[in-house]
Structure 1
Amino acid sequence: MAEIINLRTARKAKARTQAAATAAQNRALHGRTPAQKQADELEAERRERTLDGAKIGE
């Protein structure tokens, strides 16, 4: 026989799982030092300059 599931409990468990995933993502985005943020910005600018320099004239 199939196991009986309380749908309210299942819904709350799913919400907790999603909240944990969102929290982990926010920690990764916002839990960095100013030096790390600046290094990421500089890396993005360098990448953009490299790509712009490699473009063929339009």
Structure 2
Amino acid sequence: MIIHLPTGKKFHNRKEAKIYFGTAYYYKMEREKKDLKFTNTIQSATNEYEDTIKAPAKQGK
């Protein structure tokens, strides 16, 4: 869930937020890491989470 802090408006996913704010403005808020609060998610708005994912080890036979 995404919460827009100044207005308190809640969005269930990024798609809803992008439609409401417009894609360019939404990404601007995401980059600046202000006015948005992400809850109930393991992935942040940026690609930081992808950098911490480790590839599964291959099991040899």
TM-score (norm 2): 0.25
Higher relative contact order (CA 8 A, sep 6+): 2
Structure with more strand by fraction: 2
TM-score (norm 1): 0.25
The structure with the larger Rg is 1
